[in-house]
Each structure stands twice: as C-alpha cells, then as structure tokens.
C-alpha cells in the first residue's frame, strides 16, 4: 500500500532562456560528466558562511523558492548537512549578516534526482515490530487477507528542475507478502560540482533538502 504523496510543483519567477542552456562539465565524485547547464544573469543577493556560498531563486508569485548552496573547496555537501552554521542559514529565512547585493551570473545544471530510504530498521528500533511478525500482526481492519505482514517500508523522493521550474514529490510505500538600480559588481555562481539545494515555502520553511552529486 502507498500513502498520499507530498507533491510540489512551481514555476520560476523568471524562467531560464532555453537558447542559453549549454552542455558543460560537472565534476561529480565519480568523475567528469557532461550535462546541460541553465544560465541566468540577474541582480540578487549573494550569501556566504564559513564553509559555503549561496544564492536564492524565487518561484512565481513569491510562492517560496530554492536555495543553491555550494560548499567551499574541500568541503562536501554531506559535511554541510552536519554543520551547525549551515543549518542555521537554511532556517534563517534569508536573514543573514554575511550578504552582498551583486549581479549574479548563475549557472546551474538541470537535474532529475531520486532518493530512497528503507524505513524498516528504523521502525523496528522505535518498537514497531508486531506488523513485521506473522504471529502478532493484525491488518484485519484494512484487508481480508490473512495472515498478512509488512515486508517493506520505503520512503522515496524525486526532485526535478529545468528552465521552467521545479517539481518535487515524496511518498512512502508499504509493501505486504509513497526593479531597482543594478548593482555595480557582478560574480559568477557556477554549480559545477556537488551542491546542496533547499526548496522552501512562501514563509521560508524548508520543504525538501537534497544533495546533487550527479545531475543525470
């Protein structure tokens, strides 16, 4: 059986121009790969921390947005997820002391990534054990099959971005036997190596957090 998916779909407030998308190199942990990079130059705010730099891109009607967080050289996205300052930044809602208004030349790869988590061991550690045991399980309220046990609890997430916007979905599956003056300075923000992304709600709360180690 499968629960109701958490589904998110939004268009960028300013979409990428498809004619500017070009194939370039992404430096993945497993080696260099070619993928399509989307380009956008626009006035924006550039954020920095001890171990990262970040920019934000809004969805249409300011209905939330996406953070692109690039680790410093020698730091992995996994390191950032265990870094207290990075977590503070993600929860800050863009109220950050280390920020600068610039013209940002953003270059971000299209990506379509999926991630799955087996919840079985975690549920058992929390004491949810009867549903996995043929003797103790009782699903008589939802099925007439007997005996019936839970054989798998899997949580899956898929996030895709392209020139138009972002689509994300999360579900759990249970199986039995889810315009001002432009700034004077500019900088290039090129996401050509592993990075973090955070999809936020209209009030800045994180909805999805993920790592792009390989865009395709």
* pLDDT tens digits, one per residue of 54-111: 999 999 877 789 999 999 999 999 999 889 999 999 888 768 889 999 999 999 999 9
Q: Which residue has the higher pLDDT, 45 or 62?
A: 45
Which whole number is the average pLDDT over 134-162? 62
From the number of C-beta atoms within 10 Å of its C-beta (0-12, 13-18, 19+), residue 140 rates as exposed
Q: Which residue has the higher pLDDT, 93 or 143?
A: 93
Per-residue pLDDT, 167 = 87
- The DSSP element (H or E) to which 173 belongs, if any, is strand 165-176
80: its two tokens: 């950032």
* pLDDT tens digits, one per residue of 107-140: 999 998 776 656 566 555 666 665 556 665 555 5
- The DSSP element (H or E) to which 190 belongs, if any, is strand 186-190
Separation of alpha carbons 187 and 191, rounded Å: 13
Separation of alpha carbons 55 and 213, rounded Å: 18
Residues in the chain: 216
Q: Which residue has the higher pLDDT, 168 or 165?
A: 165
Name the pLDDT band for 178 (thresholds 50, 70, 90): very low
């Amino acid at each position: 059986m499968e629960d109701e998916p958490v589904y998110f779909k939004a268009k960028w407030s300013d979409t990428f121009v498809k004619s500017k998308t070009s194939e370039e190199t992404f430096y993945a942990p497993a080696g260099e790969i070619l993928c399509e990079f989307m380009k956008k130059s626009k006035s924006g705010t550039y954020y920095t921390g001890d171990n990262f730099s970040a920019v934000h891109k809004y969805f249409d009607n300011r209905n939330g947005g996406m953070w692109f967080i690039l680790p410093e050289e020698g730091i992995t996205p996994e390191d950032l997820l265990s870094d207290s300052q990075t977590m503070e930044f993600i929860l800050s809602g863009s109220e950050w002391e280390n920020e600068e208004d610039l013209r940002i030349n953003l270059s971000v790869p299209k990506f379509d990534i999926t991630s799955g988590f087996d919840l079985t061991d975690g549920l058992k550690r929390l004491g949810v054990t009867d549903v996995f045991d043929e003797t103790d399980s009782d699903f008589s309220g939802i099925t007439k099959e007997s005996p019936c046990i839970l054989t798998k609890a899997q949580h899956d997430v898929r996030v895709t971005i392209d020139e138009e916007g972002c689509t994300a979905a999360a579900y759990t599956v249970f199986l039995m036997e889810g315009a001002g003056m432009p700034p004077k300075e500019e900088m290039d923000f090129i996401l050509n190596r592993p990075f973090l992304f955070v999809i936020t709600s209209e009030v800045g709360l994180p909805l999805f957090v993920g790592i792009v180690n390989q865009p395709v």
